[in-house]
Amino acid sequence: MECPMESKLCMNCFTELHAGDGGICPACGWDNGKPQLPAGLRYGTVLSSHYSIGRAKAMNGEGITYAALDQTTRRAVEIREFFPTTLAERVAGEQSVQPLPGHESAYARLLDDFLALSKGVSRLRELTVVTTVLDIFTENNTAYSVYEYVPATSLRKLIDHSGPLSWNAVNRMFMPILTALGLINSLGIAHLGVSPETLRVTKDNTLLITGFSIRSARQAGYEIGEELFPGFAAVEQYDRRTVCGEASDVYALAACMVYAMTGHAPDPAPDRLRDQRLMISKEVLRSLPPYVVTAIANALQVRAEDRTASFERFKTELSSAPTIVNEVDQTHAIRRIPIDMEIGRRGLPPMAWLIGSLAITLVALFIVASVWMGERGMSFGDLKHLFDRETVSAQELETPYLINQEYAAWEERIAQGDYHFTLRVSDRIFNDTVQEGHIISQSPLAGEPLESGGEIVVTVSRGSATRTLPAVQGMSYETLEGILRADGFVPSRVEQASDGVEAGYVVGYEGHSEGDALEYGAAVTVIVSTGPAAE
């Protein structure tokens, strides 16, 4: 339904327009003569009986974000419409969204993901640095999330306009975001789109987290077009087969901090697999406490297994100087940042020379220690391992953060002696947001005391209760059988002659098609070719 009365309002900020304005909004400067995005809802369309649609502000593979007016409160809001254009189209002359033929199952599955994400974000109302979900509703064969509109500019525009920020300013602005992202991830919600575009700066100079999208829009290889922010997206987001989670968001936020302090984004993560160096100027490095350099280097390790795994750990490393053991542990990471600290002698105060002399002495000791250890076939990793064994057995542990991490990986680390506690699985349950085999909850919680040799009780995800049948083209039955069993299906086979499919290879599914969503444990019959029919 359309609302003609809104035609005299700006379609961006909903300020009243006057005849002499020429369509240019006197409040926000938006040119109301610009047409709506072709795929978008028409100007003035009314949703849920009281939201009037304005201009389309953003679009990605998941859908479209609109400026809108709540006619009840007369306040501007933002509305996110689920509309994956690779899977659906808008019915001609109408507002409804219709799945494309053959994509009905994928559309329904991702629509459920959209609703689940919206409900998850709506639980974050108490976090003032997260954009607030005001309403969620279904209409036009799709779903909509209504977000509070907060006047703000993107972090990118702020840096482009005002220049890089000092560490003190970055620390003040980013620390609330860091805390909030830790909590968000603990609830099973990975943002996966943290960037200078989705971090917005409000009028009181605080940061706001915006731009939530379903996981399929934040990782390559899914049915919808991904929206990745080069320089800020972690390397695992470029491959559907890898796990994305809290460590991915840690990478993105650390990259945003580097951008805020330098005005430049790190190289795209796939490129950094070849050269991990971060090009940070000497001036910026001199302004940073050494432990901050260490923390950022750890958070920007390209490979997820080498990276800081949680925001809790990242916050700890940013907030205080690490212990000697941790400094040894981080040595390899620090080397990834090219630090050229050459300073001319002229003009330096005596205290600076004293500090410099001490630094040179420490470097010399480090070199001597390296030579001594090298002659004995030891590395700093060996030294750390020895330190770990000595200290862990003598003191109380701090419970590590396990949520969203792979249970089997932690079992392996414990078996190798890296950690001195045991894991006990209290239950394995279906979960739509935590990947199969990953940990949903833990007791005691991260950061709580744990005696050496103690026990952590965890709940492990069985993955989604609904699974999608994979593609079969060019696949042998043995290969497909393994994939189906790994995904929780119970496969069986029937044989059928086929002129176009080689014997032993899969023709298709009996009674189902690729992309169909079935319950975990469902029986699936696979049609296997016996080759051309006998004449």
Each residue's pLDDT tens digit, 475-503: 999 999 989 988 888 999 999 999 889 99
Strands annotated E in 83-237: 88-90, 97-99, 133-139, 142-148, 152-154, 199-202, 207-209
| Domain co-membership, 15 together with 98 | yes
| Domain co-membership, 251 together with 320 | yes
Model confidence pLDDT, tens digit, residues 315-360: 999 986 544 334 434 443 443 344 333 323 334 454 554 455 455 5
| Domain co-membership, 79 together with 172 | no
Residue 431: its pLDDT value, please?
Answer: 78
| Domain co-membership, 114 together with 165 | no
Q: How far apart are CA 117 and CA 110, in angstroms?
A: 10
| Domain co-membership, 332 together with 400 | no
| Domain co-membership, 104 together with 205 | no
- For the cut 80, the answer to whether the pLDDT of residue 526 exceeds it is yes
Q: How far apart are CA 356 and CA 359, in angstroms?
A: 5
| Domain co-membership, 168 together with 281 | yes
Name the band, by pLDDT with cuts 50, 70 and 90, for residue 433. Answer: low
Q: How far apart are CA 119 and CA 117, in angstroms?
A: 5
What is the CATH classification number for the domain harbouring 100? 3.30.200.20
What is the CATH classification number for the domain harbouring 505? 3.30.10.20
Residue 378: its pLDDT value, please?
Answer: 43
Tell me if 159 is assigned to some domain: yes
What is the CATH classification number for the domain harbouring 185? 1.10.510.10
Paired strand residues for 32: none
Residue 337: its pLDDT value, please?
Answer: 44
Mean pLDDT over the full length of the chain: 84
Percent of the chain exceeding pLDDT 70 equals 83
Q: Pick from 372, 374, 422: which is nearest to 397 by CA? A: 422
Last residue of a domain, one of 101, 123, 148: 148
Tell me if 413 is assigned to some domain: yes
- For the cut 90, the answer to whether the pLDDT of residue 473 exceeds it is no
- For the cut 70, the answer to whether the pLDDT of residue 532 exceeds it is yes
Last residue of a domain, one of 342, 366, 399: 342
Percent of the chain exceeding pLDDT 90 equals 57
Tell me if 365 is assigned to some domain: no
Residue 84: its pLDDT value, please?
Answer: 95
Name the band, by pLDDT with cuts 50, 70 and 90, for residue 396. Answer: low
DSSP state of 443: E
Phi, psi of 79 (to 5 degrees): -120, 130
Q: Pick from 521, 473, 523: which is nearest to 501 by CA? A: 473
Tell me if 366 is assigned to some domain: no
- For the cut 70, the answer to whether the pLDDT of residue 47 exceeds it is yes
| Domain co-membership, 15 together with 140 | yes
Residue 335: its pLDDT value, please?
Answer: 36
Q: Which two tokens stand for residue 141?
A: 């064969």
Tell me if 86 is assigned to some domain: yes
Q: Which of 391-400, 404-413, 421-430 has the lowest mean pLDDT?
A: 391-400
Residue 463: its pLDDT value, please?
Answer: 82
Name the band, by pLDDT with cuts 50, 70 and 90, for residue 368. Answer: very low
CB 106 within 8 A of CB 86: no
Exposed, middle or buried, 322 (CB in 10 Å: 0-12/13-18/19+)? middle
pTM over 0.85: no
Model confidence pLDDT, tens digit, residues 80-103: 999 999 999 998 888 999 999 999
Model confidence pLDDT, tens digit, residues 230-287: 999 999 999 988 889 999 999 999 999 999 999 999 999 999 998 888 878 888 888 9
The number of distinct structural domains making up the chain is 4
Residue 412: its pLDDT value, please?
Answer: 86
| Domain co-membership, 272 together with 337 | yes
Q: Span 197-205, mean pLDDT?
A: 95
Q: How far apart are CA 18 and CA 24, in angstroms?
A: 9
Helix, coil or strand: residue 348: coil
Residue 69: its pLDDT value, please?
Answer: 97
- For the cut 60, the answer to whether the pLDDT of residue 364 exceeds it is no
- For the cut 60, the answer to whether the pLDDT of residue 452 exceeds it is yes
Name the band, by pLDDT with cuts 50, 70 and 90, for residue 301. Answer: very high
Residue 276: its pLDDT value, please?
Answer: 85
| Domain that includes residue 474, residue range | 466-529
Helix, coil or strand: residue 523: strand
| Domain co-membership, 428 together with 299 | no
Tell me if 368 is assigned to some domain: no
Q: Which of 107-116, 212-221, 375-384 has the lowest mean pLDDT?
A: 375-384
- For the cut 80, the answer to whether the pLDDT of residue 31 exceeds it is yes
| Domain co-membership, 134 together with 207 | no
Tell me if 352 is assigned to some domain: no
* Selected residue with higher pLDDT from 512 and 351: 512
Tell me if 285 is assigned to some domain: yes
Residue 355: its pLDDT value, please?
Answer: 54
Model confidence pLDDT, tens digit, residues 154-176: 999 999 999 999 999 999 999 99
Last residue of a domain, one of 454, 478, 502: 454
Give DSSP secondary structure letters for 357-421.
HHHHHHHHHHHHHHHHHHHTT--HHHHHHHHHHHHHTTS-EEPPP-TTSBHHHHHHHHHTTSS-E
| Domain co-membership, 159 together with 139 | no
